[in-house]
Structure 1
Amino acid sequence: MENFVFQNATKLLFGSGQEKDTGSETAALGKKALLHYGGGSIKTTGLYDRVKASLEEAGVEVVELGGVKPNPLISLVREGIELCRTENVDVILAVGGGSVIDSAKAIAAGVYHDGDAWDFFTGKAEVTKTLPIGVVLTIPAAGSETSAGSVVTNEEGEYKRAFGHESLRPKFAILNPELTYTLPSYQTACGITDMSAHIFERYFTNSTHVDVTDRLCEGTLRSIIRHAHTVLDEPENYDARAEILYAGTIAHNDTLGVGRIGDWGSHDIEHEVSGIYDIAHGAGLAIIFPAWMKYVYKHDVERFAQFANRVWDIEIDLNDLEGTALAGIEQVENFFDSIGMPTRLSDVDIDDTHFEKMAAKAVENGPVGQFVKLEKEDVKRIYELAQ
């Protein structure tokens, strides 16, 4: 087990009706809030009105910025930064899913930065001070409600990049399973894939003596798998929605990653796909992860066999560990397919036109991944396996 320091200061308010406390929680952080959100869904469901009423009751003045896209854009982040400066905003309230929260984080950091906010994503600048962030979560997926990271797309060059800082963890996050009832099934499935991928990234590690977090990863994955079809078949099943909602948070609040070095190569590889083609991040991960697994499993066949056994109940064949490992990978692909996710680039009409370009961009700053360090030709091969 690796040395680690673990701290997650995000306050969770979980359960039915918790959004009623949005105003009081926000008021504790500031008196003028940027209300940041995506499209019109929070208005059609009535959440927008409830949040606005709660903020008004708590005496919080509101400035609004909607329009966040599923792969949030740096152009809107820049607009948000200027709005916060002009209006003297002192807290950001993100109402939506991971894209809204990621955009809010970039704005929160950029307000106090003299240069361009993209500097954070290219490593040219470090965070020194941020506005506090609160969250009302509507999509269980990215885990951004308690994480320290942000992922944003730059339209110039079609770059999708990430950065993180402890100060970017939201101060509070409101998680009401009922707010996820109206999610389209495809978006629900993308979220299930995203949170599963966050666990995969941590599970496949070269760190040894990590049985506690192995078991936590495996248990969380088994719970996601168990409840996935229920939330798709019964969208208003509160108990199943609650399990999936909390699993998404656990998957990315760093609990599952302590004492181990995660991989994150698949995320870097997928970012090049959604950065160019603007597909849902979860869908991209459903395509890339099985291909990555097929490419790297021989690096540690025993770990992949353990994964097959503990997560998918596949009996380990000591005379054929490779067969066991491959059976586990097949189950991953079958599961994604069963919840309506694409598992091939061809499923989303992506051909090999940009493979060379995407592979080169993925490794611009050096090899990607930790479990197996991948160079340009490795990344290109994974795209080919995903085709």
Structure 2
Amino acid sequence: MQDFVFQNRTKIIFGRDKEEVVGQESVIYGKKLLLHYGGGSIKASGLYDRVINSLQEQDIEIIELGGVLPNPRVSLVHEGISLCKEHNIGFILAVGGGSVIDSAKAIAAGAKYDGDVWDFFTGNASVSDSLPIGVVLTIPAAGSETSEGTVITNEDGLYKRAMGHPTLRPQFAILNPVLTYTLPSYQTACGITDMMAHLLERYFTRERNVELTDRLCEATLKTVINNAHTVLEEPTNYDARAEIMWAGTNAHSDLFGTGRIGDWASHDIEHEISGIYDIAHGAGLAIVFPAWMKYVYKHDVNRFVQFANRVWDVEIDLYNPEKTALAGIKKFEQFLHSIGMPITLNEVEIGDEHFDEMAKKATERWPLGNFVKLHENDVRHIFDLAR
């Protein structure tokens, strides 16, 4: 096990109607905030009005910026930064899912920086400070509500890049499973895939003697698997929605990555797909992750055997561990298909015309991953396996 320092400051407020305390939680950070959200769904559901009322009860001045898209764009981040500086904003409240929260984080960092916020995503500058952030979560998926990371797409060149800093962890996150009842099935399934991918990025490590976090990852994966079909078939099942929501938050809180070095190649590879084709991040991960597994499993067959046995209940073949490993990957693919996810690029009508470009862009700064270091040619092969 690696040495580590773990600190996650985010206050979790979980349960029915908890969005009604958002004003009390926000006023701690000042009397003026930027309210950041996506499209019209929060207004149609009545959530927008409840949030506004709670904020107004605390006499908080509200500057609004809606319009966040899936795979959030740096152009809107620039707009948000300008608003924060113009109005001397002291706090950002993100109401939505991972895209809204990621956009808010980028704005929070850029508001404290004199240069272009994209510098943080290219490695040309490092975050040293940011505005505080609060979250009302509506889509359990990205785990951005307690993480220090953010992912933004630059329309210039269609680069989708990540960055992170401890100051970007939200101060509080309000999680009400009822707010997820009206999510479309496809969006729910994409969220389930995203949180599973966060667990798998940490799970597939070369670090030994990490039994506790292995078991935490496995237990959370099993919880997601056990509740996935229930939330799809019974959208208003509070208990199943609560399990999924809490699993998604914990999957990316960084607790399960303590003492180990995660991989993260699949996320980086997927960013190239959704950066160009603008598909849902979860759908892209459903395509990339099994292909990555097929490409790298021979480097540590025993870990894939453990994955197959503990997560998917595949009986271990002592005489043919590779057979067990491949059976686990197959079970994963079957599960993804069962919840409506694509597992090949052909299913989402993506051809090979950008494979070379995507492989080059993915590795232009450094090789990807830690489980196995992947170079441009390796990534190209993974795209081929994902067809």
TM-score range, shorter chain: over 0.9
Match of 1:170 in 2: 170
- Within a 5 Å distance, the mapping from 1:225-264 to structure 2 comes to 225-264=225-264
- Within a 5 Å distance, the mapping from 1:97-246 to structure 2 comes to 97-246=97-246
Secondary structure of 1:35 counterpart: strand
- In 1, the alpha carbon distance for the partners of 2:162 and 2:245 equals 23
1:219-245 CA distances to partner (integer Å, 9 max, x unpaired)? 000000000000000000000000000
Match of 2:81 in 1: 81
* Distance apart, 1:384 and its partner CA: 0.3
- In 2, the alpha carbon distance for the partners of 1:332 and 1:295 equals 15
* Distance apart, 1:275 and its partner CA: 0.2
- In 2, the alpha carbon distance for the partners of 1:86 and 1:187 equals 35
1:241-291 CA distances to partner (integer Å, 9 max, x unpaired)? 000000000100011100000000000000000000000000000000000
- In 2, the alpha carbon distance for the partners of 1:45 and 1:320 equals 53
Secondary structure of 1:325 counterpart: helix
- In 2, the alpha carbon distance for the partners of 1:58 and 1:318 equals 64
Counterpart of 1:318, as a letter, is L
Match of 2:276 in 1: 276
Secondary structure of 2:29 counterpart: coil
Counterpart of 1:308, as a letter, is A
* Distance apart, 1:58 and its partner CA: 1.1
* Distance apart, 1:6 and its partner CA: 0.4
Match of 2:266 in 1: 266
Match of 2:332 in 1: 332
- In 1, the alpha carbon distance for the partners of 2:235 and 2:120 equals 38
1:57-115 CA distances to partner (integer Å, 9 max, x unpaired)? 01111000000001000000000000111111110000000000000000000011111
Secondary structure of 1:378 counterpart: helix
- In 2, the alpha carbon distance for the partners of 1:78 and 1:193 equals 30
Counterpart of 2:218, as a letter, is E
Match of 2:319 in 1: 319
* Distance apart, 1:350 and its partner CA: 0.2
Match of 2:373 in 1: 373
Secondary structure of 1:82 counterpart: helix
Counterpart of 2:32, as a letter, is K
1:303-353 CA distances to partner (integer Å, 9 max, x unpaired)? 000000000011111101000000000011001100000100010000000
Count the aligned residue pairs: 387
- In 2, the alpha carbon distance for the partners of 1:29 and 1:188 equals 32
Counterpart of 1:188, as a letter, is T
Secondary structure of 1:167 counterpart: helix
* Distance apart, 1:30 and its partner CA: 1.4
- In 2, the alpha carbon distance for the partners of 1:199 and 1:60 equals 38
- In 2, the alpha carbon distance for the partners of 1:84 and 1:183 equals 30
- In 1, the alpha carbon distance for the partners of 2:255 and 2:341 equals 27
- In 2, the alpha carbon distance for the partners of 1:103 and 1:230 equals 31
Secondary structure of 1:12 counterpart: strand
1:155-183 CA distances to partner (integer Å, 9 max, x unpaired)? 00000000000000000000000000000
Counterpart of 1:178, as a letter, is V
Counterpart of 2:320, as a letter, is D
Match of 2:343 in 1: 343
Match of 1:308 in 2: 308
- In 1, the alpha carbon distance for the partners of 2:71 and 2:303 equals 33
Percent of residue pairs identical: 69
Counterpart of 1:141, as a letter, is A
Of 24-33 and 46-55, more deviation after overlay is shown by 24-33
Match of 1:292 in 2: 292
- In 2, the alpha carbon distance for the partners of 1:129 and 1:262 equals 26
- In 2, the alpha carbon distance for the partners of 1:79 and 1:67 equals 11
* Distance apart, 1:363 and its partner CA: 0.2
- Within a 5 Å distance, the mapping from 1:12-23 to structure 2 comes to 12-23=12-23
Secondary structure of 1:197 counterpart: helix
Match of 1:44 in 2: 44
Where do 5+ consecutive residues of structure 1 fail to align? Answer: none
Secondary structure of 2:7 counterpart: coil
Where do 5+ consecutive residues of structure 2 fail to align? Answer: none
What TM-score do you get using the length of structure 2 for normalisation? 1.00
* Distance apart, 1:369 and its partner CA: 0.3
What TM-score do you get using the length of structure 1 for normalisation? 1.00
Secondary structure of 1:371 counterpart: coil
* Distance apart, 1:188 and its partner CA: 0.1
Match of 1:71 in 2: 71
